[in-house]
Amino acid sequence: MSERTRKNGISDDRMNCAVVLIDGGSLFRAATQLNLEIDYEKLLPCLLKGRDLVRALFYTGFSSGNLKQASFLKWMRNNGYRVLQKELVINSDGSRRANLGVEIAIDMMQFARANDKIGVIILVSHNNDLAYVAQKISSQGLQLEIVSLKSLVHESLLSYADRFVDLESIKSDIRKSSNI
């Protein structure tokens, strides 16, 4: 039996297993800036780069009564994503927001602590509030990949990433094909 090599104390078997956490609001903002309609069937394979998927989570705000959004979230659930949603809150300035940073942070820590099969956490977000949990993840020896648009992500979040993927560099790989 051959011995597996280790990277930062993580076996090759674990390095081949990843969890993907997608901050839907961050991804939508980045996609809007890139004038990109994302094909979510292409997104996971592009992020995983051949690694095994343990779980894909999609965090999003929602508006009750929005049938197009409800249809999209149903499609996501039926196609490999676990959807965690929170109703949008309307702020005094009229903007709408669903703060899901706490949920993302808790899930990141749970995956880091409870699952010894995961070697990589792929976080699709530019939310600087996640920098502290990113630090804790990296101190536990897991590999952390941040996926975002370079112009949106803050250095304090990037400083804990083992790898950064700029959405600009993969947009042609994840773009939804037009049905012409």
Q: Express each pLDDT in 15-33 by its tens digit.
A: 678 999 999 999 999 999 9
Q: For residue 32, what is the enclosing H or E element? A: helix 24-33
pLDDT at 179: 61
Q: What does the block give as tokens for 33?
A: 């800036």
**In the chain, where are the structural domains located?**
22-174
How does pLDDT run across 56-88, given as a tens digit for each residue?
Answer: 999 999 988 889 999 999 999 999 999 999 988
- What is the DSSP code (8-state) at residue 137? H
Question: Residues of 80-114 as b/e, b for ≥16 C-beta within 10 angstroms?
Answer: ebebbbeebeeeeeeeeebebbebbbebbeebbee
What fold is seen in the domain 22-174?
Answer: Rossmann fold (3.40.50)
% of the chain exceeding 70 in pLDDT: 89
Question: Cα–Cα–Cα angle for 141, 162, 32, nearest 5°?
Answer: 130
Ranges of residues in the chain with a pLDDT under 70 are 1-15, 114-115, 179-180
